[in-house]
Amino acid sequence: MTVTELKKETIGQKKARAKKILATLRKAYGPVGCALHFTNPLELLVADILSAQCTDKRVNLVTPSLFKEYRTVQDYAKADLKTFEEEIRSTGFYKNKAKNIIACAKEMVTKHGGKVPHTLEELVKLPGVGRKTANAVLGNAFDVPGLCVDTHMVRINQKLGLTKNSDPVKIEFDLMPLVPQKEWTHYSHLMIHHGRVRCFARRPDCAHCSINGLCPSREDLKRGRAPFDSLPSHDFLSTS
């Protein structure tokens, strides 16, 4: 796949290439799951909110004690704000995260019977919950397929020429018709894993990339630039 070929690629051809990318990454990495540690939907919801602009590794260091102290939605709803802020301080942006998690819990108590909602429409109405977090909860806790567009998903799908957009929501909608719906969650996991172990933001390891032949960015990267280098950086998204 070259940049010239990409310009001539039809929607049908792009969809076929997306399927090949998915199959190749699955063969290369095997089953890849959510990197955040959780045992129920509530824990995943809290962990994913904490993961904003923070690594999953750091979140996984914070959550064991947190999940031991706060076991129900009601526990979070009754949490003391200042105390909670200190408990999650190391994840960064702790004041905003603490406020959102407590507000989120209070809304789940009053509007959802103290349960985590299991639809996208309901989840995105909760404080601190965007489409990425909602899709993460749906896909990993409720087995409802969803595309979790984080910084890795943005960067790699741009490089692959599967989207020209930089907005995560627009990218999600670009990918929906290209990736089989039942694979949305797994596609997200594979892309995120690929971004962590091979397609690095600063210096992608194209020489050892399993989807090199399906990527129109590879030749430009070897010369030190990418064909989509006019697109903005996405450091504002979670880099975990």
Q: Which residue has the tokens 């990267």?
A: 221
pLDDT for position 221? 45
Domain ranges of the chain: 3-30+147-222, 41-141
Across the range 140-146, mean pLDDT stands at 98
Average pLDDT, the chain: 91
Catalytic positions: 132, 150
Q: For residue 155, report the phi and psi dihedrals to the nearest 5 degrees.
A: -60, -50
Q: What is the pLDDT of residues 97-142, one digit of tens each?
A: 999 999 999 999 999 999 999 999 999 999 999 999 999 999 999 9
Contacts of residue 75, defined as CB under 8 A and 6 or more positions apart, other chains included, come to 69, 105
Could you count the other beta carbons within 10 Å of the beta carbon of residue 236?
A: 10
pLDDT for position 223? 56
Six-digit token string for 60: 């996984």
CA separation (Å) from 135 to 82, 124, 161? Answer: 29, 9, 23
Query: Does pLDDT of 51 surpass 70?
Result: yes
Indicate the SS3 state at residue 55: coil
Which of these CATH numbers, 1.10.340.30, 1.10.260.40, 1.10.645.10, 3.40.50.1010, describes 41-141? 1.10.340.30
Farthest-apart Cα atoms in the chain, separation = 58
The CATH class that applies to domain 3-30+147-222 reads mainly alpha
Q: What is the pLDDT of residues 184-213, one digit of tens each?
A: 999 999 999 999 999 999 999 999 999 999
